[in-house]
Amino acid sequence: MNKFKCNFISEFLFIKLFGAVILTFISSPVISWSALGHELTARIAYELMTPDTRLEVDKILNGESFESVSTWADRIKIDRKETEYFHYINFIATKTALTGKPETTSPKNVVSGIVLYKDILQRSNASSQEKKEALSFLIHFFGDIHQPLHNSLDGTNGGNDIKVKFFNEETNLHKVWDNLLLKQAGFSKEEYFQNLMNMCKDFDQNSIRNENYMDWALESNQIALTKGYDITPDHVLGKTYYENNIPVINQRLVTGGIHLAQMLNKVFDKKYQEVTADNLLSGNHDQTSILSMLFQYLATDSLSMALIKFERLLSPNTSKNQTQ
Ligand code: ADE
Ligand code: ZN
Ligand code: ZN
């Protein structure tokens, strides 16, 4: 197994180097990207899904791409006011401290939104339109729940009410996290996506296997409090704030993509439950299944992507405590 993995790693390094050389010759326009975070999360998830899951989600989306529907929930917010609360969650610090459990300003929030639309997605009597909407909402809300400032404390509208200067631009803290930090990185969407996919394989899977949405929101909230709101008294933010926080944003985008892929794989791919790294390592799985998974990846992905996924499948850092 070790030699096997080593070969993969050396192939990875070669592909990475080759990719870096190619990328330097491609121009890198800074794209208009208010939607960038959502699109990147969706794209990572789509890459990490199994082929069977992809078939199912493509069927539901009926010709629209997984990435393009990721921003639909924002576009319809004005007409569908009842969905507005599902884009964020605000915790009440004092009450939470008092009761020891998460107390929120509204029972309608990003966590309950995910629970609601996942339920609709799985209902056997849901119409195809209901399923398409449910899936589109889920793709979007998986982005929002991983954006720290969408998981904030009561009182600042997720940082919308905190005026700041970011690299000399008058703005607010929420926009810095929704848009400006990503924009400052200066990558094209394609470059950003490739960088994040490279990060995927280094992830500690123990930290991402848990499917408890409130835990994810609280994790984002912790990041908002310790990093997002940690600004200088003059509210002037620049290089230091960017350098401290861009790795955090990248980590949240990757985590969101992995979470979304895992959730959809569990919903749509019967085989996925069986071919987990847990089962592989405990010897519950025969070699034919492992190889068949590799061939499935090779049939549908680029070589580098197939290898990333296969590496992830063989990663020993997995946890057995999956909660719903
Ligand atoms: N509006 C009120 N609170 C918000 C939050 N945490 N994120 C986004 N929009 C909000
Ligand atoms: Zn949103
Ligand atoms: Zn926002």
Pocket perturbation via mutation, ligand 1, pick of 74, 152, 218 by most ligand atoms within 8 A of CB: 152
Confirm if 107 and 89 have CB atoms less than 8 A apart.
Answer: no
Ligand nearest to the CA of 104: 1
Nearest ligand 1 atom, CA 147: 7
pLDDT digit string (tens) for the chain, length 324 residues: 344 333 444 454 444 444 443 443 343 333 333 699 999 999 999 999 999 999 999 999 999 999 999 999 999 999 999 999 999 999 999 988 889 899 999 999 999 999 999 999 999 999 999 999 999 999 999 999 999 999 999 999 999 999 999 999 999 999 999 999 999 999 999 999 999 999 987 776 656 678 999 999 999 999 999 999 999 999 999 999 999 999 999 999 999 999 999 999 999 998 886 655 555 555 555 555 666 677 667 766 767 777 777 777 666 444 333 333
Output the residue whose Cα is nearest ligand 1's atom 7: 150
**Torsion angle defined by CA atoms of residues 277, 46, 147 and 204, in that order, rounded to the nearest 10 degrees:** 20
Specify whether the CB–CB gap between 121 and 182 falls below 8 A: no
Determine the longest span between alpha carbons in the chain, in angstroms: 61
Instruction: Kindly identify the ligand whose nearest atom is closest to the C-alpha of 160.
Output: 1
* Distance of CA 75 from the midpoint of ligand 2 (Å): 9
Q: 67 near 38, Cβ under 8 Å?
A: no
The whole model's pTM is what?
0.78
pLDDT at 298: 74
- pLDDT at position 300: 67
CA of 84 to the centre of ligand 2 (A): 8
The bound ligand whose nearest atom lies closest to the alpha carbon of 158 is 1
250-253: long-range contacts (C-beta < 8 A, 24 or more apart)? 250/195, 250/196, 250/199, 251/199, 252/146, 252/147, 252/148, 252/220, 252/223, 253/37, 253/40, 253/41, 253/44, 253/146, 253/196
Half-sphere exposure of 161 (CA within 13 A, CB side): 7
- CA dist 312 and 284 (Å) reads 18
How many angstroms separate the Cα of 306 from the Cα of each of 51, 118, 232? 11, 28, 44
| Centroid of ligand 2 to alpha carbon of 73 (angstroms) | 7
Distance, in Å, from the CA atom of 41 to the CA atom of 70, rounded to the nearest integer, reads 9
Q: Which of 77, 89, 92, 174 for mutating ligand 1's site (highest number of atoms within 8 Å of CB)?
A: 174
Ligand 1 pocket (Cβ < 6 Å) reads 88, 90, 150, 152, 157-158
Look up residue 84 and give its two tokens.
Answer: 């507005």
